[in-house]
Structure 1
Amino acid sequence: MANFVESATPFLGYLQTWHDNIQAAALDELIAGKPDTVAVVCVDVVVGFCQEGALASPRVNQIVAPIARLFTELHERGVKHFVLPQDTHEPDAVEFGAYPPHCVRGTREAETVDELKALPFSDEFMIIPKNALSAFVDTALPGWVREHPEVETYIVTGDCTDLCTYNLALHLRMDANARQLQRRVVLVEECVDTYDVSLETAQELGIRPHPADFHHVVFLHHMEQNGVEIVKRLV
């Protein structure tokens, strides 16, 4: 293999320009007068990734307010499908071999953040527990999707861009492709993000680095390459 850093440099310049040119989209045009055909799927916006615990990230916590605003705007326009897949791990979760224990069933970390629970329509949320990065593996989400064929547009929000959000958006897209469905999967960038571990911090702690800006943009681009629509925000 050629020198990776050298060969990747031109692409990184392209990637910066691509990201800088992501545009906002009109919410009313997306709904198009048919709110029953729209669902928002919000993955892992729970206390354990936003505010408390080993994997809580201040950066991820910053998406909570934009998500709450988007939820409110959608509900005001008649959207009723709010689907929230959330980490709800077993105490001995196999995943804890790769990540520190987090979001264990019955703990505060596994709860929806208070900012979303405080919304006056939060009783309409469909909470879907999951025990892995994927919101589709061994969960109620595949059944929900098949039971709601009227939903033609899925708005994707949540964390982390390169982990659970990526798996969610691509599965929604691949499921539609495999079943020949005309489905839109729209990811709202201001409502997704990932955690940051600098190289220096990783070396100090003996863990893997995770540069958030790099992973965020690379995975947004990969999702778009595979048919997910990426918008800056919905206005």
Structure 2
Amino acid sequence: MNGNYHAHFLQALCDGDSADPAMQALLAQPAFAVYRNTVFKGCVDALAANYPAVRRLVGEAWFAAAAQAHARAHPPQDACLIAYGHRFPEFLAGLPQAQALPYLHDVARLDRCWSESHLAADDPAIDAEALLAALSAGRDLLLVTHAATRWHWSDAHPCYAIWSTNRSDDSPAAIAPEWRGEGALLTRPDGQVLWRPAGLGACRFLDACRDGLGVAHAAGSALQADPQLDIAAMLGALLQAGAFTSFHPIH
């Protein structure tokens, strides 16, 4: 088999054209057109399922056109499409037709956070009492985020208010949020994805934990972002939400 067969096949699939003689013969077959339509419909359907808030904001026709364009630019690499579309938020950020909706890629990132939280592995809940005892003893610790924990902060847009309002079909679509930066935290403590607003300090704290930094450094990052932040209250809220799975002492 030609070593470039896969590349030629993808070109024929995405563009409906190819200079390769074998692909030209394939494209001439009516069944291949049916196959192409089926593949793209599957991609559009998968994106529609994975990005419901985006779909609700822009409408079915706009979403279908954007999803088809994304599928042509980023065809699936796996036959299972349940997790398809990890590049869709960045694709929307660069899509000329989306420039009138500058918050759309942030909403898409929260839709993606939900999918990743839903599909993540099961982790045990952190031993909160043991953690608090270790912190009370003055030990610096590394907090490990739960596999299903996701968060996102937007400096410019009220992404949480827009996303949470449009996440379910039975919620009102018209809102008038205060136009300022917002963040969100998504967790799955009991098998169901839950979401809540998250401040900049909490998001920076989680960023530091994800990057392997200790609680002391993470708290410093949080306070630098939000000098008025109550670290104890923030950590308590994160623990209650199920954001962490374990902790380790830093030697």
Interval containing the TM-score (normalised by the shorter chain): under 0.3
When the two structures are superposed, what TM-score results if normalisation uses the length of structure 1? Answer: 0.24
Please identify which structure carries the higher helix content: 2
When the two structures are superposed, what TM-score results if normalisation uses the length of structure 2? Answer: 0.23
